[in-house]
Amino acid sequence: MEHVKMSLKTTKTWCLRLLPVVLFFVSYYCSYVFQSCYGGTSKTPTPSKALCGGWLSQKKWESLNFNISRQTQLFLKLEDFFWQEHLSTLTLPYGIKGSELLLLKVLAVVANYKMPANIENLECRTCVVIGNGYAIKNSSLGGVINKYDVVIRLNDAPVKGYEDDVGNKTTMRLFYPESASYNPGLHNEPDTLMVLIPFKQQDLRWLKEILYDEKRVRKGFWKPPPQIWLGSTSHIRVLDPHFLLETSNTLLQIPLNPKNKQKLVHPTTGIIAVFVALNYCDVVHIAGFGYPVAKNQKHPIHYYGYDTMKSMKNSYHDVNNEAEALRRLEDSGAIVYLHAHS
């Protein structure tokens, strides 16, 4: 009897010793099953993939008649020499006529013109374009935004201090010299692509002077651009003017040569970014777009800073036309807003 008690005591001791080991393997197995079902490796579906099924099956972009292709090359590249084979008849921002030499010098240094391979090789690309509008303030969309494959931001819109509403992931940021931050690292990730939209010849000249460390020419800008720019050369891209031309022609139907001395109008960085996303992504969602409907000219227009509707008075943009274009895109199902909007 004493022998049986000793045996039971020994068994109980070993069971207690083995319990942590058993619990470890159970925990490991459950973790493995969870990772297999919900992500954790490159071969498993990411949360954003749930957005792809309906979009791909309905092919909503076909109703746009924009001749959109996921294989569209977004950025200019040196080896194209497209201006030799297909001479551009338009000047910036819709063509490169007269800016060929500047462009050659810029592209010779920039060299890289591709999107990151981990994005380029995705079977389905989910993208979100984050506008700078007041509508995103207090939205708490930050966590949702960070789950998209591609997050496109505009100009010098800040991220730090606003993460709860706008997230902190940035795949690429579209900008022009007057909207550039002297240090892109302040509100971008280390691998963020900085995509220059060349609206005018001075924009390319500014970038060339930065890249070659030449004397800066300050004339020709409506606002002084940074004289020192700490961006990484390997992350610079130059957007093909084709996208500005098509945004104006196809989406906004802006006359390239206005008659009767009409005010010259160019698309905003935001609407250009939406059109770029439609050409590159399978799923396009947007947030932070739309201007306040209130007639109060002192109402803030951004989720940051102190700019008001009054500051838009003398701009070269037709915000009403762009709002209507976004409405058409939303009605067609081509884009989806992440928040309520007017």
CA distances in angstroms from 83 to 103, 144, 197, listed in the order given: 10, 42, 18
Nearest to 143 by CA among 170, 165, 159: 165
CA distances in angstroms from 300 to 148, 312, 327, 339, listed in the order given: 28, 11, 22, 18
Report the alpha-carbon angle 322-272-309, nearest 5. Answer: 45
Q: And the tokens for 243?
A: 């996208």
Most confident of the ranges 15-29, 73-87, 175-189, 281-295:
175-189
The pLDDT of residue 28: 34
Q: What pTM, to 2 d.p., does this model score?
A: 0.82
Map tokens 């606002």 to a residue. Answer: 223
Name which residue leads in pLDDT, 170 or 264: 170
Give the confidence band of 31 by pLDDT, cuts at 50, 70, 90.
Answer: very low
Q: What is the CATH number of domain 50-337?
A: 3.90.1480.20
Over 60: is that where the pLDDT of 341 sits? yes
Could you tell me the residue ranges of all domains in the chain?
1-44, 50-337
CA distances in angstroms from 321 to 39, 109, 138, 318, listed in the order given: 42, 37, 27, 5
Task: Say which residues have a Cβ less than 8 Å from residue 301's Cβ, sequence separation at least 6.
Answer: 133, 134, 291, 292, 307, 308, 309, 311, 312
